[in-house]
Structure 1
Amino acid sequence: MQSKRPAVWHIYTQLIQEGSSAKNQQQNPSKRRRREEKREPILPPLPLLASLGESIDRSAGTMFQGCGLFACVSRRGADVRKRGEAGAASSRVAAEPAVWEEEEADGAARQMAWAEVESATGAFSSRVIGHGGFSTVYLASLSSARLAAVKVHCSSERLHRAFRQELDVLLSLRHPHIVRLLGYCDERDEGVLVFEYAPNGDLHQRLHGGDDTAPLPWSRRVAIAFQVATALEYLHEGSSPAVIHGDIKASNVLLDGNMDAKLCDFGFAHSGVSTTAGRGRSSGRAIMGSPGYVDPQLLRTGVANKESDVYSFGVLLLELVTGREAVCRETGCRLTAVVCPTVSEGNVADVVDRSFTGKYSADEATVVVELAMRCVSDTPGLRPSMADVVHVLQEKTTALISAVGSRLDRRIMF
């Protein structure tokens, strides 16, 4: 027995040093490969995490804390992995194509079982098409002919309350230019929202995606502005109670197969005429809005209201006209700080996107820019309502006719 102790000790120390790799090398390669294929998609690869950090730094700098974000991602991955091991039977369901049952008779979102979500996403092996501060969005297949975007929230008590809040708002909304909620699942700690899929990405990608992205023509940009305006008018005036979106920006405007706008991401939305945003960690909530879009008045008072949504929409209008980002990547300057002095001197043509190359109406551009300037007024009381914005765009921009045709009739939109 004494002669065997060195060999046993050698094996023990080798296992301690090499960890699970020594164990994996002794296992059947095919079994190990199947397990790795099954587990790999649960946590994003390193390049995706780097991209995620860059995206959050660009579009949500004031809203998210980096360390909390990655801890949340790691924790959600561990939770999902743990449940996947415990529920092997339900994981096997994911090998089969999802079967989307009939929708509710009134078109309302349907409550889904966790097994359906696993099936639709291939046990979360589907392509990641988006990510936010505390959620990941997967491309999912509801049936052989229907795709969807599945948003999986991180697992924590506080974030589950945020999920319930977003869900409650979404369940009360129905508008052609607000992304449609198809279903949801609240069986587990990770809240799941299933949305219609918008194949043309988001407006930020289309405006600032680089040389390989065809520039949007003037008529389409005006149409997108009008469509987002009608969605906001509906939130402020057409829903009961009124809804404050809280985070209007180009990346929260999706584009469907017809290049029509779909307002999305209601994670900061609240019902009521106004709401008080958190100010610091002790409040448990982040300041609403994103850099470049957030109303300075909101930063000063912490109160989000209709006027703060109007301000953010005004920045979006300027972004559509100029083709520039809300915050310059090189200088860090806000778009409003760059454009407003030029426009105040009457030089509207100097700020218009050069990609139009004359294929736009100078008069219409002036109307849109002046409307945007009213929206971003430093005095909230001087900003127009979204109903006023819709009226101006509809009455003063004939580009809408060529872009949306008969669908311009707002009476069929609600």
Structure 2
Amino acid sequence: MTHGFDTLQVHAGARPDPATGARQTPIYQTTAYVFRDADHAAALFNLQEVGYIYSRLTNPTVAALQERVATLEGGAGAVCVSSGHAAQIMALFPLMGPGLNIVASTRLYGGTITQFSQTIKRFGWSCSFVDFDDPAAIEGAIDENTRAIFCESIANPGGYVTDLDAVAAIADRAGLPLIVDNTSATPYLCRPIEHGATLVVHSLTKYMTGNGTVTGGAVVDSGKFDWSASGKFPSLADPEPAYHGLKFHETFGGLAFTFHSIAVGLRDLGMTMNPQGAHYTLMGIETLSLRMQKHVENAVRVASWLENHPAVAQVTYAGLPSSPYNDRVARICPNGAGGLFTVALKGGYESCLKFVDGLEIFSHVANLGDARSLVIHSASTTHRQLSEEQQIAAGAAPNVVRISIGIEDPDDLIADLDQALKNAG
């Protein structure tokens, strides 16, 4: 039987505890697991049997979350990790090596731009940033050392909607995996695998958990990419010395990436999600569709009001008819354009700071996707490490404020914005 999204967000990956009958997924707060006997232990360590060894690798609470996220995204499997940034490194880890590169959109979260432009250099990897509205630029940036294409479905901070179908077609022609960060959209608004994505990454910290309590990340494997076709992905296609020459793609097929991420990635990088964090995220996902509907409904109302305010130069929300990306919403994000956008103020940088400081209901925090409405001036915080040119390209210019619309009463949000804009001059 095929179940709907609302049913899956409650039930996928969750079964009554066989020992106690507990209906909610228990928090398995344990480091290690007792083996049945020596043969059982050997089979687990040889990847001949699936089971629990040590909680750096696998944990029943985290496993339930992995199954739920993979199911909602329409993927074959998933691995959950300690943060969204950890998820990005985990996604790249089996694909990359010294001298190799990725091609990424200029419209990314500022921390991701820093990770890709600076930190991955320490591994000998590199990244070319291009405008993903320019297919020729994407194709022109791909060379023989490119191993992945990376973008966000709904870009943070500006709410820009990527034409995933067009980008996936380029990735297919190049024989490369497309990695899509689906944090801002969640699988309720967008399912990147249905648009050709190979891997989907999440910061579970945001909308998936939805209450600002934990950090977490996930990498979802579509199970559809042929890792053995080109010779470019030896970690997945060639013999693995640490497992007596086992070939992950040959052995595990559509789950090759997932098994490699656990058996090698978590084993050696240790970016483990804790079981209590997984529990909070499982509970958050149970109401994902309800929350996202309210986020979208509120965002449309608030963005429409802001667009007509005399202090506002521009609102970037793709859910507005005036947005150049509005025509993509029905195709890429059929349930709405999300709850994230930016507002450019006519008063510039100083007005932005006064505006942020003057808000009362909105919380001034470096986060998004909370049930509470949040605000931040990206140029002086999350995107501060970027040049002004990079800030503008990422949608975080000095006169721009990022707003994450929560699930409060929209009239109260509008009243708060109105008084803060007046005080900001």
TM-score normalised by the shorter chain: which range applies?
Answer: under 0.3
- Higher Rg: 1
Please report the TM-score for the alignment, with normalisation by the length of structure 1: 0.24
Say which structure, 1 or 2, has more relative contact order (CA 8 Å, 6+ apart): 2
Please report the TM-score for the alignment, with normalisation by the length of structure 2: 0.23
Higher helix share: 1
